[in-house]
Structure 1
Amino acid sequence: MKHVRINAGKVGLVFKKGDYLKVITQGKHWLGFNEHAIVYSLENSFTAPIALEILLKDETLAAMLDVIKVNDNQLVLVYEKGNFKTILSAGRHIYWKGLIKREYTRLDLSKIYITEKLDKALFSNYELSKYIRTFEVAAYEKAVLLVDDVHTKTLTGGVYRFWRNDTSIKIAKVDLRQLQMEIAGQELLTKDKAAIRINFYTQYKVTDIEKALLENKDYEKQLYIAMQLVLRAYIGSYTLDELLERKDNIATAVFEDVKTTAKKLGVSILNCGIRDVILTGDMKEIMNQVLVAQKQAQANIITRREETASTRSLLNTAKLMEENEMLYKLKEMEYVEKIADKIGEITVSGNGGIVTQLKEIFSGNK
């Protein structure tokens, strides 16, 4: 005979020659010949030293144990004293009752949606996050949810979590803000065969997410090509001069023409326009020559106009002098003043007016 003492918070299992006999709790106990006790702490989980089914035949011991069976596609969250402790995966898990209050939350991983009420802080736990798929949709976005490639619903801004299992889950997102598309460096020929490069812009918004993502593939590329083709068609119907004069009209025509196509793509065109018209090397040189010629022609016209005005003014002055002797004398004095500024000394003698004598002097010098 021997005795064994079981302290508070512990429990013992008595075996004889390897066979389970009984469970003993707090206190002093006597063990017979060939009997021994295995002592366990009630704080910890229980690992059965022999087949659990044999131990559970003892109703006293069975009442002291929580046996948690976790099936495939299940998880069990263990809480101790209200705080999360651990995660139990598929298998059988055993805890002692009595000393620590434990709670268990069973999770069904075979579902798509997480319907169990879980603290959001748990989603950052590595052991749990391995079983979760997380998708984030920004406040300015919408997304379509595809379950096994079937459109299920449209998602607005937020964070969405789904169980990670054999079900295929995908989302496709669209930016709902005003967007801009640049059609840059398009090399085109005008009606008069002038080679130019066009930089064109388009502002648009996605208005029908299902059309854009589910009924069309690469809606942005399709919109780009549609704008490109319409622009090419309109540029080819104008001469270079018409194009430079009517840029705004062409942008308006392209805008009206592409609206119907854009609507089929789930897109609304807000605005568009020609940003730049760039001439190629040879064409740029030709246009510069044309511009220089135009400016020279304008300068010549202005020169001729001034000469004509000057001649007309002289004619009018001559008529006035012929009719008014005083004006003639004033003109004589004006000429004398101008000559005096240029010549140091002039001697005039004889009869006749000063202007006449000066004329004779200058004629004689010649």
Structure 2
Amino acid sequence: MVMKLIERLLGFERRILTESQRAVVLYKGRFMGIYGPGEHRLPNRANRLVVELHDLARSAFVSAYDKALFRGRPELADEHLLEVRTGADEVALILRDGQFYGIQKPDARMVVWRDCGPWHVDHLDVSESLVVPKGTARHVLAAGKSAPVSTFEVAQGQCGLLFIEGAYVETLSPGTHLYWDVGRKVRASIIDLRRQALDVAGQEILTKDRVSIRINLMAEYTVTDPVKAATSVSDFTAALYRTLQLAFRKVLGAQTLDQILATKAAVDAEVLEKVRHDMAEIGLKVGEIAIKDVILPGEMREILNQVVAAEKQAEANVIRRREETNATRSLLNTAKVMAENPVMLRLKELEALEGIAGKVKSLTIHNGTQGLMNDLVSLTE
């Protein structure tokens, strides 16, 4: 206690730093040094000592004396601090003890404590290519959203079209692709190369006989030239939709309702050829085109239902008359046979009598038993 008082009277003070602390010390406005762990005896006459404490838990060096230290005492700064600078066309990948620490963008500066290392800095030139090298990709992916990169995932059956500053550069194959997103705008359009189906639903069309109908269409297509499909039109799917819409409006508008209903499943060959030709010019191959549904207004459906019901009733009447005619013809033939053969007529009478006898409990014969036997003998003769 006495020593501290004596030192204070003599213009000194003691500071103790731990292993995780560093101190930037200035006396009379000038840098004395950067001190590490231990007990330090520092001059402090007239309170002109400035001690700036830093915790190494925070590896970045943030200080009001940063630039002054590098400018006035570069050897002292270089002994304790690592300065990372990047040019206008480069990025820096910073590793700390072999692990990813951060990525520094172009025209940037960062200072870290050397004692927080060991540090490794890779400077990467992005003036020629924005492709992230494969050896660097895993470190970049570890950075997550904080990394200044654009990541594009291309699945099987797809391709990616890379655009830099709006200009097409290359076609990306399936896989993960990383590009530096520094200074220049990077964009990729993912194109599905598999066969796809497009539905054109609820198209209002006025037929030749002035009946308003709605139709639903379906078309299958495949992208054969992804570059042409992505660059010749703003949206190739919308272009196909409009082409189908206009083509069918033109063709079906020139037909009557009966013609449309009669050929609903068939698509005009001229329409099909025109759609395929127009789409081939923008890199699409159109396959099957079909009319899925023809939807009529409520009143028209009722009328058509009545027409169909009348047609079916007429068909039923024709069939009924045909069967009646056949039955009458059969009776006539039977009558002719009986007229020519009295025995057959008598057998029919007995069959009728047998049928009646089977349905009644008792039978009264007015001709008498003798008369019935005589009739049977006569029939046998």
Same fold (TM over 0.5): yes
- The yes-or-no answer on 1:250 pairing with 2:267 is yes
Alpha-carbon RMSD: 4.6
Structure 1 distance, partners of 2:304, 2:298, is: 10
One-letter amino acid of the structure 2 residue matched with residue 215 of structure 1: S
One-letter amino acid of the structure 2 residue matched with residue 312 of structure 1: R
With over 3 angstroms needed to count, the CA separation of the structure-2 counterparts of 1:252 and 1:62, relative to structure 1, is: same
Seq. identity, %: 32
Structure 2 distance, partners of 1:244, 1:293, is: 18
Unaligned runs of 5+ in 1: 350-366
With over 3 angstroms needed to count, the CA separation of the structure-2 counterparts of 1:271 and 1:83, relative to structure 1, is: same
The size of the alignment, in residue pairs, is 344
Match of residue 81, structure 1, among 81, 94, 97: 97
Residue 227 of structure 1 aligns to a residue whose secondary structure is helix
How far 1:307 sits from its partner (Å)? 2.2
Q: What does 1:185-334 align with in structure 2 at a 5 Å threshold?
A: 185-250=202-267, 254-334=271-351
Q: Deviations over 1:126-158 (max 9, x none)?
A: 6851x2233333333323222222111122333
Match of residue 52, structure 1, among 70, 75, 99: 70
Give the equivalent residue in structure 1 for 2:85.
70
Unaligned runs of 5+ in 2: 1-9, 369-381
Residue 183 of structure 2 aligns to a residue whose secondary structure is coil
How far 1:249 sits from its partner (Å)? 2.7
Residue 118 of structure 1 aligns to a residue whose secondary structure is helix
With over 3 angstroms needed to count, the CA separation of the structure-2 counterparts of 1:322 and 1:263, relative to structure 1, is: same
Residue 247 of structure 1 aligns to a residue whose secondary structure is coil
One-letter amino acid of the structure 2 residue matched with residue 309 of structure 1: N
One-letter amino acid of the structure 2 residue matched with residue 164 of structure 1: D
One-letter amino acid of the structure 2 residue matched with residue 139 of structure 1: Q
One-letter amino acid of the structure 2 residue matched with residue 170 of structure 1: R
Structure 1 distance, partners of 2:37, 2:333, is: 140
C-alpha contact 1:111 1:163 (8 A) present in aligned 2: no
How far 1:63 sits from its partner (Å)? 7.8
Match of residue 177, structure 1, among 187, 190, 194: 194
Residue 169 of structure 2 aligns to a residue whose secondary structure is strand
Match of residue 120, structure 1, among 119, 128, 138: 138
C-alpha contact 1:207 1:268 (8 A) present in aligned 2: yes
Give the equivalent residue in structure 1 for 2:7.
none
How far 1:37 sits from its partner (Å)? 12
C-alpha contact 1:191 1:239 (8 A) present in aligned 2: yes
- The yes-or-no answer on 1:164 pairing with 2:164 is no
One-letter amino acid of the structure 2 residue matched with residue 68 of structure 1: E
With over 3 angstroms needed to count, the CA separation of the structure-2 counterparts of 1:332 and 1:82, relative to structure 1, is: closer
C-alpha contact 1:110 1:165 (8 A) present in aligned 2: no
With over 3 angstroms needed to count, the CA separation of the structure-2 counterparts of 1:321 and 1:264, relative to structure 1, is: same
Structure 1 distance, partners of 2:271, 2:91, is: 59
Structure 2 distance, partners of 1:264, 1:275, is: 26
One-letter amino acid of the structure 2 residue matched with residue 82 of structure 1: G
How far 1:281 sits from its partner (Å)? 1.7
Give the equivalent residue in structure 1 for 2:109.
91
| TM-score normalised by L of structure 1 | 0.72
C-alpha contact 1:223 1:265 (8 A) present in aligned 2: no
How far 1:86 sits from its partner (Å)? 5.0
Q: Deviations over 1:152-197 (max 9, x none)?
A: 1122333333223332222223222222111222233444444433
How far 1:15 sits from its partner (Å)? 8.5
One-letter amino acid of the structure 1 residue matched with residue 83 of structure 2: I
Structure 1 distance, partners of 2:256, 2:23, is: 102
C-alpha contact 1:79 1:85 (8 A) present in aligned 2: yes
| TM-score normalised by L of structure 2 | 0.69
